[in-house]
Amino acid sequence: MNNVKEIKSEKLKEKYYEIAHPSGLKIMVYPKENYSSTFVIFGTKYGSIDTQFRLEGESEYTCVPEGIAHFLEHKLFESEELDAFERYAKTGASANAYTSFDRTCYLFSCSKNLEANLEILLDFVTHPYFTEATVEKEQGIIGQEIKMTRDEPAWELLFSLLRAMYKNHPVRIDIAGTVESISHITADLLYKCYNTFYNLSNMAFCVVGNVNPDDVVKVADKALKKQEPVKIERKFFEEPKEVNEEYTELKLPVASPLFALGFKEKVDTPERTNREITQSNIILDVVCGKTSSLYNEMLESGLINTSFDFEYFFGFGYAAAIFTGESDKARQVKEKITDRIKYLQQNGIEREDFERVRRKLYGRAIMAYNDVDEIANNMIASEFAGECVFDDIEILESITLEELNERLVKSIDTECCSLCVINPEGE
C-alpha cells in the first residue's frame, strides 16, 4: 500500500498502521491477532463547543444554535430508505454514536461481516439526508431527551458546576443544547455544519481487532471519494481567570446530597498536551486517589463514601480539576481538598507518593492495550490532539517529580474554584 506509515511501540511489542487515504481521510488500523471482535470508530473533530467557526478565507464567524452537533449526529443515521441501525441489524453489528464537547464519533463492534459493516459506516456518515420535515420531527424527539436529562442528577451536577466555573466558554452549555436553542436548527444549518466539519480532512477512521489493513483500505477505496481539505478556525473564547460563581445549590429527587468541586485552570493556549494531561492525572491521584492519606481520612470520618471520584477535565480552551461524590458536608470536603493542595504546593509531592501513583497509572495504561474499544477511543482522541496513542506509556516512563511539582503550582489556583451541591427535595 502507498502512503502507509507503520508506528511501533518497543515496550508493548505492538504496532498500528497509519494510512493517508487518497480521499483525504486518515485511516488507522491496529491489528490484534486472535481477538474475536473488532471495534471501529469514524470520528470528526466537532463537538458541542463548536458554536462559532469560520473556514479559511471567510471574514465572519458562523454562529449556530447550541446543541447542533448532537442534533446532526442523530440525523446522520437517517436516510431516504433504511436507517443505519436497520442496516446493522442485518449484519449483526452492535452500533452506537456519541457527541462530546470536542468530537462526534460513530462506532460499531462486530465478530463477523466486518467489510459489510465498514461499508455501512462509511456510507451513512458520508451521505447526509436532511429535510425541514425530518428536522422538525427530530426537534420534538431531542426536546424530550433534553427534558429527561434534567432528572439525571449526575448530568445536572456536572453542568451546574460548569456554569458556575465558566462565564463565556460554551463548555457551560449542555451538549444537547436547550429546547429553545434546537428550535432554531434548520436543514440548511445542518448542511453548513456538515460540509464544514465532516470534511474527510477533519476526520479519522480507526479499526482495532483481528483485521488486515488491506481489507480496510479496499472498502475505503470503494466507499470514499476524494475531497479537497478545509481549514477550520474555531473561536477561542476569552475567559476571566475567576469563576463565574463560587457556590450553587439546587434540589432534585436524590437519596443523598451530591457535590461537585471544580478548580478552574487558567489556559493561555487552546490545547493541552499529553504530557500536561498525564501530569495532572498524577497530581490528582496523589491529592486524593484511593491510596492517598486524604481519601482514607475523609472516608473513615464519613465525609465521603466510595462514590467519591475525580478527573482532569479539559478540551479546546478549558481545563479544570473536578472532584465529585456524595456528602452532607460538602463544604468540609472542599476545605480538606483545598488544604491538601495548598500543602503540596508549598512543600512538594513526596517522591514515594509520586512513584506509587506513577507505577499504578503505568500499569493501568499497559492494561488498556488489551481492550479494543479503549484503544480505538484513545487513538481517535490522540489523533485529534496531534499526538500518538503510544505517548502515554513513554510519558509515564520519563516524567519527573520536579516537573510535576512545577505543574501543581501552575495549574491549580485554590482561589478559583466552584462548589455545586444537589440536596434532596424537601430538605
Q: In whole angstroms, what is the distance from residue 298 CA to residue 304 CA?
A: 6
Helix ranges restricted to H, 311-371: 330-347, 351-368
Spatial contact of 220 and 23, defined as CB atoms under 8 Å apart: yes
DSSP letter assigned to residue 265: P
Ordered structural domains, the chain, with CATH: 4-234 (3.30.830.10), 247-424 (3.30.830.10)
Query: Looking at residue 235, what is its pLDDT?
Result: 87
Which ranges of the chain have pLDDT less than 50? Answer: none
Taking each continuous run of H as one helix and of E as one strand, the counts in the chain are 15, 15
Q: In whole angstroms, what is the distance from residue 337 CA to residue 343 CA?
A: 10
Query: Looking at residue 394, what is its pLDDT?
Result: 93
Spatial contact of 102 and 45, defined as CB atoms under 8 Å apart: yes
Query: Looking at residue 340, what is its pLDDT?
Result: 98
Alpha carbon 157 to its chain's center = 18
Spatial contact of 224 and 122, defined as CB atoms under 8 Å apart: yes
| pLDDT 10s digits, 76-109 | 998 877 789 999 999 999 999 999 999 999 999 9
Spatial contact of 19 and 26, defined as CB atoms under 8 Å apart: yes
Query: Looking at residue 427, what is its pLDDT?
Result: 63
Query: Looking at residue 376, what is its pLDDT?
Result: 96
Measured in degrees and rounded to the nearest 5, phi and psi for residue 382 equal -65, -40
| pLDDT 10s digits, 232-282 | 999 888 899 999 999 999 999 899 999 999 999 999 888 899 999 999 999
Q: In whole angstroms, what is the distance from residue 49 CA to residue 318 CA?
A: 10
Reduced to 3 states, what is the DSSP secondary structure of residue 8? strand
Q: Which residues are known catalytic residues?
A: 73
CB neighbourhood size of 318 (10 A)? 24
The x, y and z cell numbers of residue 199, run together, are 470534511
